[in-house]
Structure 1
């Protein structure tokens, strides 16, 4: 079994640097700290960190082994840069440490001015239409950029900036986070906000009132009483229309006017097979009145006879 290659020789086995460092460094992505940490860890694993930080020097101008390793690290650096950053960082010659310093300066020059601008952006950042995950990531990126320019923000201030940028639909959870003891960290506050976001996305169930229930006793009582009230009125109306003028039901004697008729309708049996509403029977004789005496018919009136004139 062949012996494993020396640690420094293992670096030549890396054929695709992006399989080890899955981040492309870009000025607009604000990912310098993550890229820097991954790249230094990778170089440490393959025993070439000294070429990156400038702690290992060549033994002379003809130190071929050092020059090969240094060139390999330069290729790794250039292979993880976005095109705009590559064009601004590339220069012929120089060592891997020189390229490393040029890239760092592009992200950390003018510290004071950059810190003021980043701090102002952090204060005015609002969630808008973003999701909680996206909003928290933006806050964290701004905090990391402030750390890059030697202006770190403490944990409590980060959480307060996070809460100040939320809209009114998160008012309930904002009060919970503010009064929580001990005061939550950024990660805990983010987790609580994500749970509240998921709760707000769930559809609300409509609450049925007591009048909407199919088994409401009050609704059945009202319906039954209404039918009972409509039945006798419709029946009485129908019989009054059909029996109008019938003397045996009227009994128009003095002191007993309409009593028999009322007693008759009170004893009228109610049928459960009749369903309301009832349609009144249309009157058969619209202009007929039993109390109006019809004029005596006398036949056609006789026409006077024409008297013939006598001839003279």
Structure 2
């Protein structure tokens, strides 16, 4: 969305207010598989409408928006549509794909954004009030949506994957991924480190996703998938315990409880690795602040500054040893127990 000094503020504000339609347009494009179809076979809008079996005039209106957003482009000579580098991020099976995020926007997650006002008034997640259960309980009963949700997590990981080599995974014989989702991180670690073993701790329904991933990758013999509640206990015997995109799901008091459990159950010699988006200041990238509102509306958690994260760790009996700043405002914090 072009916002320049040449556009009157009144117009700029109206563009911002229509941002929900931007999300909806991208969601529609992904559901229709427009990015994949155009990539595989560049074609005119008329041909695309026939291929998708949709109303041609309506599709042209959607295409115009996608062109304005620089997701696709059109050859003025023959009307052939092609995918731009930005639009390529919406394709299936590309590293760091945003496709899963676009699908989430059109479902229950997006509906919670519409209830942000209630979350601001109460400080409580809109998801619980809208659907009667928390988001993770809801996902347990919606297998397809759960797959999309953890697919989004796996795609987000790919954005920082190469940078995470700074952790030195090979120096840890057993890596325990606490709340490790479908096991995407451990799949990478175990593939890169053939001498290492892994443990994923997850709820029953998500554990099945992790088992399937490990089996498909040929890693089932080197990765144990444990069903449990990380507020109650975490597996013992690990050398590195990972919390990736877990802490921001919870308010401070719940985070404190989780970190205390980790400290209690970890061997004294083990290290803790927290991987989270980190807020730098009020002038930080807009994405970080929007993700903070996402946490408020959907799970009741929050994005934190580096100082706030380190205070949580300190209060739980950890001391920060290393910090690694990654892409997109993500920080990997390595900590050990205070002796």
Larger strand fraction of residues: 2
Q: TM-score, normalised by structure 2?
A: 0.21
Q: Choose 1 or 2 for highest CA Rg.
A: 1
Q: TM-score, normalised by structure 1?
A: 0.23
